[in-house]
Structure 1
Amino acid sequence: MKFQQLRNATIIIDYTGKKFLIDPMLGEKGAFPGFEGTPNSHIANPVVDLPIPMDEILNVDAVIVTHVHMDHWDEAAMKLVPKDMLIFTQNENDAAEIQGQGFKNIRVMGENTVFDGITLIKTPGRHGGKETVEKWAELLGHVSGVVFKHPNEKTVYIAGDTVWYEGVEENLKKYEPDVVILNSGDAQVLGYEPIIMDKKDVYEVYKAAPRATIIASHMESVNHAMLSRKELREFLSEKGMTQRVLVPEDGESCVF
């Protein structure tokens, strides 16, 4: 398999010859305002440009939208992704919303969704601490991850917008992934509480998945992401984690 970091949670997975575009945020730098109630909300999003041309980004077989927050499915994606592109969503509500935007080829992921021999498994996530998620359920919404499985390929787990909690631990135990992709930029909101993984959460995943390679994604691209690549790399070095945890730059690829 091949992984390519584009920007934020936007990545491309090349898996058994099929290319998947995950969580496309395709707007130009500064295309939409910073998120209210978050750190650095005066800074417009995205805070960096895309690293490769749009025709390369859109040269895929399918799109996976883990949830419909603007930094995972923005207005530019709604305009630029072809209306007949196959799009996988986490639930019927997201499918209906995207269908209402003019898309015609939508599938809802379940526990065993098969696409050209590849099994896609929707996994649960929690977009922040338990009390925060309960209090701000409408704002933070439902989120998901996805596991890729194939007899001739490594098992990949994209955790999605989640913090470390028992659901992630259960996913690691159940699917035993070879590669784990974490949204680990420590995005903060509502009193400056993390709503995706911070460096301590990355460490918990590292301990819970002792044979997996871990990739840190969703970094340095939106106003409320508080963990820099530099700080994470320093933490990994201090903990002796650098051999199994990768922190790719935007545009960088990894082959497994």
Structure 2
Amino acid sequence: MTQQTHEPAPATTTTTAGEPPAPTPLAPPYPPLARPRPLGEHRVWPRTFHDRLTAPLPGLRALARFAREGAVRPGPEGLADIARLPFEPAPLPRADARTLAVTWAGHASWIVRLGGLTVLTDPVWSRRILGTPARVTPVGVPWDALPRVDAVVISHNHYDHLDAPTLRRLPRDTPVFAPAGLGRWFRRRRFTVVTELDWWEGAELAGTRFDFVPAHHWSKRTLNDTCHSLWGGWVLTAPDGQRLYFAGDTGYGHWFSRVGRRYPGIDLALMPIGAYDPRWWLSDVHCDPDEAVQATLDLGARRMAPMHWGTFILSAEPLLEPLTRVRAAWEKAGLERADLWDLPVGGSRVLDR
């Protein structure tokens, strides 16, 4: 396996003694995209991806402080807004091969239609997930209202992004795009077309390209599998060039600008804005709303759709604070209000070329 984690060195020009240096052509920031990997390819991965962490995992001192403070839920005033969380289920809009349409089912689960495909991101249709209170908003789209699912993309293996009861509802021949090291989990559940990718690798399905890109996060599902599989986001590119970025779960940092340079012209970024308080505990792995807006600018994305808030109570910020803060940050950045797709759970938007 070749890990593609570093930027290539810039081109250099050599000269003979006494000759003026030849002009050096400007090199692109990245080489051409890697050739698509075969669908369903079986590969051998390292046992751990600890070397990909961009921040240390919490140590004993941080765990002791977390246990002492115990601030993982909003106070009574923050919880009082449960009834005001935006929930507006509606039928899925029409979409064809020239349409980019997204529908927010809640948390990081989207129904994406791009290049004529229907793709689910981190599908979680369960009412409860392990270690977390029940949903505070229902799923925005009933399972039986979904069109045929052409593919699933998974960002990482945390329970609020990888939900076994939901995935059991899918036909086992549904193509799955997963981080390196996570394929075994799917194969044990009899999925037959599982494509594991390293960072900066891609694969194609029906002409649409699925590229796995870095994120500032980590992985863990059991007591002894910390960072045994990779984590990241996805860039989906349709045959006509329409391009969507799904961040998955991530803190803010240098990867966003690198992703934007390698995949220019992102039409829409699906960005997490919740589960950020307290910052001393969560800043390395979860963007706050202001950072999500800055990350969208770093990506060069034309539009942003917030996610990862208002579904499960995972942290201490008031329930509606992520929405009010992201709107304020978007306005402060001088961006067009129409390009912030702050959808309710169940809401949809369509970009038609």
User: Normalised by the size of structure 1, how large is the TM-score?
Assistant: 0.82
Q: Which residue of 2 aligns with 1:49?
A: 138
CA contact (8 A) 1:189 1:224 kept: no
Among 68, 82, 88, the residue aligned to 2:171: 82
- 2:262 is the counterpart of 1:174: yes
**Unaligned residue ranges in structure 2 (runs of 5+):** 1-99, 219-224
Inter-partner Cα distance in structure 2 for 1:106 and 1:70: 19
Q: CA RMSD in A?
A: 2.5
Q: Which residue of 2 aligns with 1:59?
A: 148
Instruction: Give the deviation of 1:190 after TM superposition.
Output: 9.3
Q: Decide whether aligned partners of structure 1 residues 165 and 191 sit closer, same or farther in structure 2, where only a CA change above 3 A counts.
A: closer
Q: Which residue of 1 aligns with 2:304?
A: 214
- Corresponding residue for residue 228 of structure 1: 322
Counterpart of 2:339 in structure 1 is 244
* Among 193, 200, 213, the residue aligned to 1:123: 213
Give the aligned length: 237
Q: Percent same amino acid among aligned pairs?
A: 19
Query: Does structure 2 conserve the Cα–Cα contact (< 8 Å) formed by 1:214 and 1:245?
Result: yes
- Structure whose residues are more often strand by fraction: 1
Alpha-carbon spacing, 1:109–1:140, altered in 2? closer, same or farther (3 Å)? closer
Counterpart of 1:20 (choices 110, 119, 138) is: 119
- Checking the alignment, whether the CA contact within 8 Å between 2:118 and 2:147 is kept in structure 1 is no
Larger radius of gyration: 2
- Confirm whether residue 113 of structure 1 aligns to residue 167 of structure 2: no
User: Tell me, what secondary structure is at the counterpart of 2:159?
Assistant: coil
* TM-score, normalisation: structure 2: 0.61
Asked if structure 1 preserves the Cα contact closer than 8 Å seen for 2:115 and 2:239, the reply is no
2:3 aligns to what? none
Between the aligned partners of 2:227 and 2:277, the Cα distance in structure 1 is: 13
1:152-197, CA deviations, whole angstroms, 9 ceiling, x for partnerless residues? 1411111221122111210012211122111221445795323221
**Gap runs ≥5 in structure 1:** 35-43, 129-136
Given that residues 154 and 179 in structure 1 are in contact (C-alpha distance below 8 angstroms), is that contact kept between their aligned partners in structure 2?
no
Could you list the per-position Cα deviations for residues 188-218 of structure 1 after superposition, in whole angstroms to 9, with x for gaps in the alignment? 5795323221122123124324561111111
d(CA) in 2 for partners of 1:33 and 1:46? 12
- Counterpart of 1:33 in structure 2 is 131
Q: CA deviation at 1:54?
A: 0.8
How far apart in 1 are the matches of 2:227 and 2:240? 40
In the TM superposition, residue 123 of structure 1 has moved relative to its aligned partner by: 0.3
Q: Check 1:21–1:99 CA distance in 2 against 1; reply closer, same or farther (3 A cut).
A: same
